[in-house]
Structure 1
Amino acid sequence: MTRKPAEADVVIVGGGIMGTASALFLARRGRSVILLERGMIGRQASGTNFGAVRRQGRPFSQMPLANRSRELWWQLPELISDDCEFVRRGHLRIALDQTAADKLVTYATEARHVGLDAEILSGNALRSRFPWLSQKVVAGSFSPLDGHANPRLTGPAFGRAAARAGARIVENATVVHAGRTGPDFEVETAEGHRVRAPVLLLTAGAWSAAFAGLFADPAPLEVRGPQLSVTEPLPYFIGPNTSAAATNPDESVYFRQVERGNLIIGGPRHGPASIRTGLANVLPENLLLQLAQARSVVPVLARARIIRSWSGVEGYTPDAQPVIGASPRVAGLYYAFGFSGAGFQLGPAVGEVMAALIDGGASPISLEAFAPGRFPEGLSAEGAALRSIRAKGG
Structure 2
Amino acid sequence: MSDQTTYDIAIIGGGIMGCATALRVAEGGMSAIVLDQGDLGQGASGVNAGTLSLQIKRVKLMPYALKGHHLWEEMGDAVGFAKTGGYTLAFNAREAEMLQERQTLKADAGAPIEFVSNNRLRAAEPNLTQKVEAASFCAEDGYANSSLTGQYYRGRLRDASIPYREGCKVTAIDRGTVFTLQTPQGPTRATRILLAAGAWLKPLAALLDVDLPVNARVNTVSVTERMPALMSSVIGHATGLLTMKQKANGTVLVGGGWQGIGTPQEGRGTVNAATVKPNLALAQYAVPALAKARVTRSWTGFEANVPDFYPLAGALPGITDAYVLGCVRGGYTIGPYIGQLMGESILGREPEMPLFDPGRDFEKDMI
TM bracket, shorter-chain basis:
over 0.9
The equivalent residue for 2:266 is 277
Aligned positions, number: 365
Q: Of 148, 162, 185, which aligns to 2:143?
A: 148
The equivalent residue for 2:225 is 232
* Alignment map for 1:1-394 (pairs within 5 Å): 3=2, 5-77=4-76, 83-182=78-177, 184-189=178-183, 191-246=184-239, 252-267=241-256, 269-340=258-329, 342-367=330-355, 370-375=356-361
CA distance in 2, matches of 1:192, 1:112: 49
Structure 1 position 375, deviation (Å): 4.8
CA distance in 2, matches of 1:47, 1:336: 17
After superposition, the C-alpha distances for 1:317-365 in whole angstroms (9 at most, x for unaligned) are: 211112111224222111111124x211111102211111111332111
Dislocated runs of 4+, deviation >6 Å: none
- Whether the 8 Å contact between 1:223 and 1:274 is mirrored in structure 2 is yes
Cα–Cα, structure 1 residues 373 and 324, in superposed 2: closer, same or farther, change >3 Å?
same
Cα–Cα, structure 1 residues 258 and 365, in superposed 2: closer, same or farther, change >3 Å?
same
CA distance in 2, matches of 1:281, 1:375: 33
Where 2:189 maps in the other structure, the secondary structure is strand
- Whether the 8 Å contact between 1:317 and 1:338 is mirrored in structure 2 is yes
CA distance in 2, matches of 1:195, 1:302: 53
Deviating more after overlay: 276-285 vs 44-53: 276-285
Where 2:115 maps in the other structure, the secondary structure is strand
CA distance in 2, matches of 1:237, 1:3: 54
Where 1:175 maps in the other structure, the secondary structure is coil
Partner AA of 1:295 in structure 2? Q
The equivalent residue for 1:379 is none
CA distance in 2, matches of 1:153, 1:5: 32
Cα–Cα, structure 1 residues 155 and 3, in superposed 2: closer, same or farther, change >3 Å?
closer
Cα–Cα, structure 1 residues 31 and 114, in superposed 2: closer, same or farther, change >3 Å?
same
After superposition, the C-alpha distances for 1:109-155 in whole angstroms (9 at most, x for unaligned) are: 23233221111113443223322211232212111112101111023
Where 1:71 maps in the other structure, the secondary structure is helix
CA distance in 2, matches of 1:212, 1:349: 23
Where 1:9 maps in the other structure, the secondary structure is strand
After superposition, the C-alpha distances for 1:290-334 in whole angstroms (9 at most, x for unaligned) are: 221111110111211111111122222211112111224222111
- Whether the 8 Å contact between 1:24 and 1:159 is mirrored in structure 2 is no
Structure 1 position 268, deviation (Å): 5.4
Structure 1 position 28, deviation (Å): 2.5
Contiguous gaps of at least 5 residues in structure 2: none
**Aligned-residue RMSD, C-alpha:** 2.1
Deviating more after overlay: 21-30 vs 201-210: 21-30
Where 2:333 maps in the other structure, the secondary structure is coil
Cα–Cα, structure 1 residues 201 and 268, in superposed 2: closer, same or farther, change >3 Å?
closer
Contiguous gaps of at least 5 residues in structure 1: 377-383
Cα–Cα, structure 1 residues 26 and 268, in superposed 2: closer, same or farther, change >3 Å?
closer
- Whether the 8 Å contact between 2:39 and 2:150 is mirrored in structure 1 is no
CA distance in 2, matches of 1:347, 1:37: 17
- Whether the 8 Å contact between 1:236 and 1:259 is mirrored in structure 2 is no
Cα–Cα, structure 1 residues 86 and 257, in superposed 2: closer, same or farther, change >3 Å?
same
The TM-score with structure 2 as length reference comes to: 0.93
Where 2:358 maps in the other structure, the secondary structure is coil
Structure 1 position 103, deviation (Å): 2.2
Structure 1 position 4, deviation (Å): 5.9
- Whether the 8 Å contact between 2:6 and 2:191 is mirrored in structure 1 is no
CA distance in 2, matches of 1:354, 1:155: 20
Where 2:301 maps in the other structure, the secondary structure is coil
CA distance in 2, matches of 1:105, 1:198: 50
After superposition, the C-alpha distances for 1:240-265 in whole angstroms (9 at most, x for unaligned) are: 2221124xx8xx32211110010001
Partner AA of 2:342 in structure 1? M
Q: Percent identity?
A: 33
Structure 1 position 44, deviation (Å): 1.4
Cα–Cα, structure 1 residues 4 and 259, in superposed 2: closer, same or farther, change >3 Å?
closer
CA distance in 2, matches of 1:149, 1:174: 28
Cα–Cα, structure 1 residues 197 and 228, in superposed 2: closer, same or farther, change >3 Å?
same
Partner AA of 2:145 in structure 1? N
After superposition, the C-alpha distances for 1:206-263 in whole angstroms (9 at most, x for unaligned) are: 11112223334432122221111111111233222221124xx8xx322111100100
CA distance in 2, matches of 1:279, 1:359: 34
